[in-house]
């Protein structure tokens, strides 16, 4: 049995990132770049905006998680965790329903500090993906 030291790795190395226009797994964060602190900020996070990602029983986006890290704070706050459980199955078997659910979510939050939105997505085959977007509060 291997010891803990030999098993250690940088977790951050498991999170892939790329240009969302060229890579279908990157979470795309859409929201205003500048907001007022008293206003709700609407945030949309989707995967496969430019290049569609499949949603089948065998290959799908399982979840998206969204965080906000204020510039001066050490820790991020989680804004939401979204699970996608529908992947085209029906009583006839995998991928037989006519229902398609898209891996996209819209949520809202407020912040009195500028900071960075962080989105993570998980493909059941292609692993963990990340992206960020800065928001400044006026
Ligand atoms: Fe994938």
Question: Does residue 44 lie in a domain region?
Answer: yes
Question: Does residue 2 lie in a domain region?
Answer: no
Strands 77-83 and 61-70, by their bridges, are antiparallel
Question: Does residue 68 lie in a domain region?
Answer: yes
Question: Does residue 59 lie in a domain region?
Answer: yes
Collapsed DSSP state (helix, strand, coil) of residue 54: coil
61 Cα–ligand 1 center, Å: 7
Q: Which pTM does this prediction carry?
A: 0.90
Q: Which residues are catalytic?
A: 23-25, 53, 59, 123, 126
pLDDT score, position 133: 98
Decide if 118 contacts 81 (C-beta within 8 A): no
Question: Does residue 7 lie in a domain region?
Answer: no
Confidence of residue 70 (pLDDT cuts 50, 70, 90): very high
Structural domain boundaries, residue 58: 13-137
CA distance 59 to 28: 19
Cβ-based neighbours of 1, under 8 Å, separated by 6 or more: none
Question: Does residue 1 lie in a domain region?
Answer: no
- Per-residue pLDDT tens digits for 22-65: 999 999 999 999 999 999 999 999 999 999 999 999 999 999 99
Question: Does residue 6 lie in a domain region?
Answer: no
72 Cα–ligand 1 center, Å: 35
130 Cα–ligand 1 center, Å: 13
- Per-residue pLDDT tens digits for 79-123: 999 999 999 999 999 999 988 889 999 999 999 999 999 999 999
Domain total in the chain:
1
Question: Does residue 5 lie in a domain region?
Answer: no
105: domain CATH number is 2.60.40.730
On the CB side of 15, CA atoms within 13 Å amount to 13
DSSP state of 23: -
């Amino acid at each position: 049995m291997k010891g803990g030291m030999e098993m250690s790795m940088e977790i951050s190395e498991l999170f892939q990132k790329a240009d969302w226009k060229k890579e279908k797994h990157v979470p795309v964060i859409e929201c205003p770049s500048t907001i007022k602190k008293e206003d709700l900020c609407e945030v949309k996070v989707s995967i496969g905006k430019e290049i569609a990602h499949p949603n089948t029983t065998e290959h799908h986006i399982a979840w998206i998680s969204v965080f906000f890290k204020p510039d001066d704070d050490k820790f991020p706050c989680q804004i939401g965790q979204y699970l996608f459980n529908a992947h085209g199955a029906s009583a006839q078997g995998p991928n037989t329903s006519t229902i398609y659910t898209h891996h996209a979510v819209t949520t809202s939050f407020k912040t009195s500090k500028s900071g960075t939105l962080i989105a993570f997505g998980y493909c059941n085959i292609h692993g963990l993906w990340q992206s960020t977007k800065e928001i400044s509060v006026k």
